Amino acid sequence: MKAIVYKKYGPPDVLDVTEVDKPIPNDNQVLVKVHAASVNFGNLVLLKGEPFLARFAFGLLKPKYSIPGGDMAGTVEAVGKDVIQFQPGDEVFGDLSSSGWGAFAEYVAVPENALALKPANLSFEEAAAAPMAGVTALQGLRDKGKIQQGQKVLINGASGGVGTFAVQIAKAWGAEVTGVCSTRNVDVLQSLGADYVIDYSEEKFTENMNTYDLILGVNGHQPLSDYKRALKPNGIFVHVGGSGSQMFQAMTVGAWISKTSSKKMGTFLQRANQKDLVIMTELMESGKVKPIIDRQYTLSEVPEAFRYFEQGHARGKVVITVE
């Protein structure tokens, strides 16, 4: 089969389309013919081995996982004898980041708990856009942010992969949502149902007098003090993406603020979870949430897809069509 393979950390140029052996599923695995995959920030960490601490999980001197790719959608081709949830012919999607990665290939063998049935109303490309970004938004808002109906929620970096899901999930939860984005993406957030949209080139959310019950920081470089000011008493700030200095502040200064004030501030790391994949399926099949795709590339164009993605201006998701 064809797969994207890399043997050393580096820029997208280290990625090659290579012929490799088609995987054989073990007794507990599902063999999936991949139709589509997508690019996430975690893929960029895996590619570059940065920040350096990530190498303790992904391989200190060279990549532990030679085929990258976390999100995928495809058709079940075969199942191991102990698999009970799926059968050949099922259309599935999933997040492989906790089960060996490998989505940038024509086939992948994965544990059944990494998968869920694909939303019936979505294409494979749309489904492949959803697992990691959608579950990150869901867990960040629900588990770390403790979102409640009627709350005022601010999402900074609302037009990217995680952000577009977060806007829709927060609206589905009954929150009043303000999204922060660039001028070119204002219309996208309005189409997703954001109650208010702040164009950061025209207005700084850190400088107006509005305050929020929950802030999800998906992108940006603002100091933690700006987010603290924008929080209501008992408000919560959740860092899920942004500059490295901001993440460090969220882990250190945020912990101190959380202990010494009514405001809670911290960082959050998404965990692949089959139950949350099913919740995303329900949200998408109901029409409350839809994936937003910026650009699509073929498997041979994965290096180009990474070059575009690392610029940081993608509107929604960058998707790889494998078939």
When the pLDDT of each residue in the chain is averaged and rounded to a whole number, the result is: 93
Give tens-digit pLDDT for 154-203.
999 999 999 999 999 999 999 999 999 999 999 999 999 999 999 998 99
CA distance 55 to 45: 9
Give tens-digit pLDDT for 218-240.
987 788 889 999 999 999 999 99
| Nearest Cα residue to 247 out of 275, 269, 271 | 269
User: Do 254 and 279 meet the contact criterion of CB atoms below 8 Å apart?
Assistant: no
Q: Average pLDDT for residues 295-312, to the nearest whole number?
A: 95
Q: Average pLDDT for residues 94-109, to the nearest whole number?
A: 96
The amino acid present at 149, given as its one-letter code, is Q
User: Do 268 and 239 meet the contact criterion of CB atoms below 8 Å apart?
Assistant: yes
Confidence of residue 312 (pLDDT cuts 50, 70, 90): confident
User: Do 105 and 132 meet the contact criterion of CB atoms below 8 Å apart?
Assistant: no
% pLDDT > 90, the chain:
77
Q: What is the pLDDT of residue 58?
A: 81
Three-state SS at 264:
strand
On the question of pLDDT at 52 being above 70, the answer is: yes
Q: What is the pLDDT of residue 243?
A: 67
Confidence of residue 45 (pLDDT cuts 50, 70, 90): confident
User: Do 127 and 23 meet the contact criterion of CB atoms below 8 Å apart?
Assistant: no
pTM of the model: 0.94
| Nearest Cα residue to 232 out of 211, 217, 215 | 211
The amino acid present at 195, given as its one-letter code, is D
Give tens-digit pLDDT for 103-144.
999 999 999 999 999 999 999 999 999 999 999 999 999 999
On the question of pLDDT at 59 being above 90, the answer is: no
Which residues make beta-bridge pairs with 30? Answer: 79, 110
% pLDDT > 70, the chain:
99
On the question of pLDDT at 101 being above 90, the answer is: yes
Instruction: Write down the number of H helices and E strands in the chain.
Output: 10, 15
Give tens-digit pLDDT for 241-293.
776 677 777 778 778 888 889 999 988 888 899 999 999 999 999 999 999 99
